[in-house]
Chains A and B, each alone.
Chain A
Amino acid sequence: MPNVTYITLIPLLPMAGFIMLGIFGRKYFKNTSGIIGTVLLLISTMLAIHTAYGYFFEYGKLDGIYQKMIPLHYTWLEFSKGVSIDMGIILDPISVMMLVVVTFVSLMVHIYSLSYMKGEERFPTYYAFLGLFSFSMLGLVLSSNIFQIYIFWELVGVSSFLLIGYYYNKPNAVAACKKAFIVTRFADVGFLIGILILSFYAGTLDFNLLIQKLTSPEASEFKNAVTTSFLGLSGLTWGLILVFIGGAGKSAMFPLHIWLPDAMEGPTPVSALIHAATMVVAGVFLVARLFPVFSMSTTALNLISYVGIISALIAAIIACTQTDIKRILAFSTMSQIGFMMFALGVSGFGGENGIGFTASLFHLFTHALFKALLFLCAGTVIHYIHSNEVKDMGGLRKYLPITHISFLIACLSIAGIPPFSGFFSKEEILLAAFQHNIIIYFAALITSGLTAFYIFRLYFHIFWNKPAIVKSDHKREGGLSMILPLILLSIGAAVAGFIPFGHFVSSDGSTLENTLHIEFSIAPVILGLTGIFAAMWLYLKQNNRPQKIAASMSVLYNIVYRKFYIDELYLFVTKKILFKLVGRPAAWFDKNIVDGLVNLTGNATEYISNKIKVVQSGKVQQYAMYFLFGIIGLAVLFIYIWK
Chain B
Amino acid sequence: MNEMLIIMKSELLITIIIFLLLFIKLGKGMTNDSLLILVQFLMLLNFIAGFFFNLPGNLFDGMYHTGPLIAFQKNILNLGVYLISLLFADWFRKSEHLTEFFILLLSALLGMFLMISSGNLLMFFLSLELATIPVAALANFDLDKKKSSEAAMKFILSSAFSSGILLFGISMVYGATGTLSFELLPAQLNGNPLQVLAFVFLFAAFAFKLSIVPFHLWTADVYEGSPVAVTAFLSVISKGSVSFIFLTALYKVFQPMNELWYNMVMILSIATMITGNLFALRQQNIKRFLAFSSIAQLGFILVGISSNALEGTSSVVYFVLIYVFSNLAAFGVTSVISSRVGKENIDEYRGLYQTNPFLCWVMALALFSLAGIPPTAGFFGKLFLLTAGASKANYTFIIIAALNMILSLYYYLKVIRAMFMEKNEKPIEKIRLYPSVKLGMVICAIGIILTGLLSWVFDYIQSLH
- In the bound complex, residues from chain B placing their C-beta under 8 Å from that of A24 are none
Whether B193 is near chain A, meaning CB under 8 Å from some CB there, is yes
Does B214 contact A630, Cβ atoms closer than 8 Å?
yes
Does B279 contact A609, Cβ atoms closer than 8 Å?
yes
Query: Which of B217, B278, B281 is most buried by chain A, counting CB atoms within 10 A of its CB?
Result: B217
Query: Which of A615, A616, A633 is most buried by chain B, counting CB atoms within 10 A of its CB?
Result: A616
Contact of B214 among A79, A618, A629 (CB under 8 A): A629
Q: From known contacts A79-B387, A634-B200, A638-B196, infer whether A605 and B278 are also in contact, taking CB-CB under 8 Å.
A: yes
| Those of A594-622 within 8 Å (CB) of chain B | 605-606, 608-610, 612-613, 615-616, 618, 620, 622
Which one of B46-54, B137-145, B154-162 contacts A? B154-162
Does A627 contact B162, Cβ atoms closer than 8 Å?
yes
Which one of B92-100, B118-126, B201-209 contacts A? B201-209
B246-275 vs A, Cβ < 8 Å mask (1 yes, 0 no): 000000000000001001100000000001
Contact of A78 among B154, B162, B455 (CB under 8 A): B455
Does B200 contact A627, Cβ atoms closer than 8 Å?
no
Report the bound CA distance from A627 to B220 in whole Å. Answer: 15
Contact of B218 among A79, A623, A629 (CB under 8 A): A623
Does B264 contact A615, Cβ atoms closer than 8 Å?
no
Does B279 contact A634, Cβ atoms closer than 8 Å?
no
Q: From known contacts A609-B281, A634-B204, infer whether A77 and B161 are also in contact, taking CB-CB under 8 Å.
A: no
The prevalent SS among residues of A at the interface is helix
What's the minimum C-beta distance from A549 to chain B, rounded to whole angstroms? Answer: 56
- In the bound complex, residues from chain A placing their C-beta under 8 Å from that of B260 are 638
- In the bound complex, residues from chain B placing their C-beta under 8 Å from that of A608 are 278
Report the bound CA distance from A92 to B273 in whole Å. Answer: 51
- In the bound complex, residues from chain B placing their C-beta under 8 Å from that of A615 are 217
Whether A588 is near chain B, meaning CB under 8 Å from some CB there, is no
Report the bound CA distance from A626 to B455 in whole Å. Answer: 42
Whether B348 is near chain A, meaning CB under 8 Å from some CB there, is no
Whether B221 is near chain A, meaning CB under 8 Å from some CB there, is yes
What's the minimum C-beta distance from B172 to chain A, rounded to whole angstroms? Answer: 11
- In the bound complex, residues from chain A placing their C-beta under 8 Å from that of B214 are 626-627, 629-630, 633
> What is the total number of residues of chain A having a CB less than 8 Å from a CB of chain B?
31
Report the bound CA distance from A642 to B400 in whole Å. Answer: 21
Q: From known contacts A620-B157, A624-B158, A630-B204, infer whether A635 and B282 are also in contact, taking CB-CB under 8 Å.
A: no
Whether A544 is near chain B, meaning CB under 8 Å from some CB there, is no
- In the bound complex, residues from chain A placing their C-beta under 8 Å from that of B217 are 615-616, 622-623, 626-627
Report the interface size class on chain B: 20 to 34
Whether B402 is near chain A, meaning CB under 8 Å from some CB there, is no
Whether B215 is near chain A, meaning CB under 8 Å from some CB there, is yes
Does B197 contact A627, Cβ atoms closer than 8 Å?
no
Report the bound CA distance from A76 to B207 in whole Å. Answer: 35
Contact of B158 among A613, A618, A623 (CB under 8 A): A623
Report the bound CA distance from A620 to B204 in whole Å. Answer: 17
What's the minimum C-beta distance from B400 to chain A, rounded to whole angstroms? Answer: 15
Whether B165 is near chain A, meaning CB under 8 Å from some CB there, is yes
Does B200 contact A618, Cβ atoms closer than 8 Å?
no
Whether A469 is near chain B, meaning CB under 8 Å from some CB there, is no
Nearest B residue to A622, CB-CB: B217
B158-176 vs A, Cβ < 8 Å mask (1 yes, 0 no): 1001100100000000000
Nearest A residue to B268, CB-CB: A634
Does A627 contact B278, Cβ atoms closer than 8 Å?
no
What's the minimum C-beta distance from B138 to chain A, rounded to whole angstroms? Answer: 18
Contact of B204 among A79, A610, A618, A627 (CB under 8 A): A627
- In the bound complex, residues from chain A placing their C-beta under 8 Å from that of B158 are 620, 623-624, 627
Contact of A76 among B154, B263, B455 (CB under 8 A): B455
Does B278 contact A609, Cβ atoms closer than 8 Å?
yes
Does B203 contact A634, Cβ atoms closer than 8 Å?
yes
Q: From known contacts A618-B221, A639-B197, infer whether A630 and B215 are also in contact, taking CB-CB under 8 Å.
A: yes
| Those of B371-429 within 8 Å (CB) of chain A | 380, 387
Q: From known contacts A77-B455, A629-B214, infer whether A605 and B157 are also in contact, taking CB-CB under 8 Å.
A: no
Report the bound CA distance from A609 to B196 in whole Å. Answer: 33
Report the bound CA distance from A24 to B327 in whole Å. Answer: 27
What's the minimum C-beta distance from A635 to chain B, rounded to whole angstroms? Answer: 5
Whether A550 is near chain B, meaning CB under 8 Å from some CB there, is no
A415-434 vs B, Cβ < 8 Å mask (1 yes, 0 no): 00000000000000000000
| Those of B210-224 within 8 Å (CB) of chain A | 214-215, 217-218, 220-221
What's the minimum C-beta distance from A139 to chain B, rounded to whole angstroms? Answer: 14
What's the minimum C-beta distance from B417 to chain A, rounded to whole angstroms? Answer: 15
- In the bound complex, residues from chain B placing their C-beta under 8 Å from that of A626 are 214-215, 217
What's the minimum C-beta distance from A12 to chain B, rounded to whole angstroms? Answer: 14
- In the bound complex, residues from chain A placing their C-beta under 8 Å from that of B208 are 627
Whether A80 is near chain B, meaning CB under 8 Å from some CB there, is yes
Whether A593 is near chain B, meaning CB under 8 Å from some CB there, is no
- In the bound complex, residues from chain B placing their C-beta under 8 Å from that of A623 are 154, 158, 217-218
- In the bound complex, residues from chain B placing their C-beta under 8 Å from that of A35 are none
Contact of A609 among B193, B204, B282 (CB under 8 A): B282
Q: From known contacts A620-B154, A638-B200, A638-B264, infer whether A627 and B281 are also in contact, taking CB-CB under 8 Å.
A: no
Contact of B200 among A76, A612, A631 (CB under 8 A): A631
Q: From known contacts A609-B279, A609-B282, A616-B279, infer whether A635 and B387 are also in contact, taking CB-CB under 8 Å.
A: no
Report the bound CA distance from A609 to B289 in whole Å. Answer: 14
Query: Which of B153, B165, B201, B214 is most buried by chain A, counting CB atoms within 10 A of its CB?
Result: B214
Nearest A residue to B391, CB-CB: A80
- In the bound complex, residues from chain B placing their C-beta under 8 Å from that of A76 are 455
Does A616 contact B203, Cβ atoms closer than 8 Å?
no
Q: From known contacts A638-B263, A642-B263, infer whether A631 and B196 are also in contact, taking CB-CB under 8 Å.
A: no
Report the bound CA distance from A78 to B387 in whole Å. Answer: 11
Whether A75 is near chain B, meaning CB under 8 Å from some CB there, is yes
Report the bound CA distance from A605 to B162 in whole Å. Answer: 31
What's the minimum C-beta distance from B381 to chain A, rounded to whole angstroms? Answer: 13
- In the bound complex, residues from chain B placing their C-beta under 8 Å from that of A627 are 158, 161-162, 165, 204, 208, 214-215, 217
Q: From known contacts A76-B455, A623-B217, A626-B217, infer whether A635 and B281 are also in contact, taking CB-CB under 8 Å.
A: no
What's the minimum C-beta distance from A425 to chain B, rounded to whole angstroms? Answer: 41
What's the minimum C-beta distance from B407 to chain A, rounded to whole angstroms? Answer: 8
- In the bound complex, residues from chain B placing their C-beta under 8 Å from that of A79 are 387
Does A624 contact B161, Cβ atoms closer than 8 Å?
yes
What's the minimum C-beta distance from B358 to chain A, rounded to whole angstroms? Answer: 11
| Those of B277-302 within 8 Å (CB) of chain A | 278-279, 281-282
Q: From known contacts A79-B387, A620-B154, A627-B214, infer whether A634 and B264 are also in contact, taking CB-CB under 8 Å.
A: yes
- In the bound complex, residues from chain B placing their C-beta under 8 Å from that of A642 are 263
Nearest B residue to A617, CB-CB: B217
Report the bound CA distance from A613 to B283 in whole Å. Answer: 11
Does B279 contact A635, Cβ atoms closer than 8 Å?
no
Nearest A residue to B260, CB-CB: A638
Nearest A residue to B153, CB-CB: A620
- In the bound complex, residues from chain A placing their C-beta under 8 Å from that of B263 are 638, 642
Does B196 contact A635, Cβ atoms closer than 8 Å?
yes
Report the bound CA distance from A638 to B191 in whole Å. Answer: 11
Report the bound CA distance from A633 to B207 in whole Å. Answer: 14
Q: List 29 A-B contacts (CB under 8 A).
A: A75-B455, A79-B387, A606-B282, A612-B278, A613-B279, A613-B282, A618-B221, A620-B153, A622-B217, A623-B154, A623-B158, A624-B157, A624-B161, A626-B214, A626-B217, A627-B158, A627-B161, A627-B165, A627-B217, A629-B214, A630-B215, A633-B214, A634-B200, A634-B203, A635-B197, A635-B200, A638-B200, A638-B260, A639-B193
Q: Which 9 A-B pairs have the closest CB atoms?
A: A623-B217, A630-B214, A635-B200, A609-B278, A631-B204, A634-B200, A624-B161, A620-B157, A639-B193
Known pairs A623-B154, A624-B158, A626-B217; list 12 more (Cβ under 8 Å).
A608-B278, A609-B279, A610-B282, A616-B279, A623-B218, A624-B161, A626-B214, A627-B162, A627-B214, A627-B217, A638-B200, A639-B196
Query: Which B residues are within 8 Å of any A CB, using their own CB?
Result: 153-154, 157-158, 161-162, 165, 193, 196-197, 200-201, 203-204, 207-208, 214-215, 217-218, 220-221, 260, 263-264, 275, 278-279, 281-282, 380, 387, 455
